[in-house]
Structure 1
């Protein structure tokens, strides 16, 4: 059936661009956010062996799966369904930021992230998340970026808030983890600030 609303962003808006390497600044020093390379597979394998990443991202990896995970991102970019960046600090992979979903017609992206144990608590994740979000909004035209994390993961909540993702609400029993169902906290960042609410309607608006 026909869609009655024109797409906000045309097909090809992402694929026509080269995936960028972005620079960010964190309290820990400079951060580079770059496309994944085949040599990064070992760092990905180590990441998905970390108990915290397994807990919140609900998966582990074999060496072959890590190779395939790194290799699949260019195809996601070409198909305009997602994208992945390695977060590098001091010449080594410290984490990642991914577009889990992208809907150009709605100018909307869903983002996820993780950082390796040695990089946590150093302001690296918010810097990388902010850099990717800013690029998406300025260069691609994304109007809304959102993310969700377990309500039992306050560290992820702090990352989101520091990167300008405001809390919007809670999805009850929305994600199943190894220890059972979790409520998920939703955050979002808009390309333009929401307008301040205006005054309420006067008495005449009620038809009195």
Structure 2
């Protein structure tokens, strides 16, 4: 299985490395980003544990998480697919640190991840969801070829507030998004 993918602009997808711990800690320290982690990431040690869990999931083929790295190898964000199931469906997630936002990093990473999932994992359907109050995440989904499919009303709750989630999907048979 190919675990490294070259992207336009000198970017690449690669598995997370322990040397990414500082970048992971810095990204998850940003306001609102703590929701992207499966456990609190406050220290470099926490970030190393987060990376360790990503590597463990990969070894068990439960999820496949990639760093989106620049030409120097610095992790700018992450993309992942989890839950490849008997129906050849996976769940996609993505995030970037603040320095990478607005530069197309998440879109390029998400597009490449989808192509990788179809080619390397043989998946047919990829799904994702975003809060409706996060238009940037919606733009990434649409630019990555994910079609909006519906609304899950008040699905998520953060700090006592409920949020609607818009769902998107991309099929292996869908046309590839234009560059």
TM-score, with structure 1 as normaliser: 0.77
SS in 2 for 1:147: strand
CA deviation map 1:150-197 (0-9, x unaligned): 000000000000000010011011111235111101011000139xxx
User: Greater relative contact order: 1 or 2 (C-alpha under 8 angstroms, separation 6 or more)?
Assistant: 1
CA RMSD in angstroms comes to 1.8
* Unaligned stretches of 5+ residues in structure 1: 1-16, 195-208
CA deviation map 1:36-90 (0-9, x unaligned): 0001011111111011423666864122221111012222122221111001114
Q: 1:20 and 2:29 equivalent? A: no
8 Å contact 1:101–1:111 — kept in the other structure? no
**Counterparts of 1:49 and 1:134 in 2: how far apart (Å)?**
30
Correspondent of 1:54 among 29, 34, 37: 34
Alignment length, in residue pairs? Answer: 173
TM-score, with structure 2 as normaliser: 0.89
Q: 1:31 and 2:11 equivalent? A: yes
8 Å contact 2:84–2:123 — kept in the other structure? no
Query: Greater Rg, structure 1 or structure 2?
Result: 1
* Unaligned stretches of 5+ residues in structure 2: none
Report matched runs for 1:1-208 at 5 Å: 17=1, 20-25=3-8, 29-54=9-34, 60-63=40-43, 64-91=45-72, 92-103=74-85, 105-178=86-159, 180-193=161-174
4+ long deviations beyond 4 Å: 55-59
**Counterparts of 2:34 and 2:103 in 1: how far apart (Å)?**
21
**Counterparts of 1:44 and 1:137 in 2: how far apart (Å)?**
27
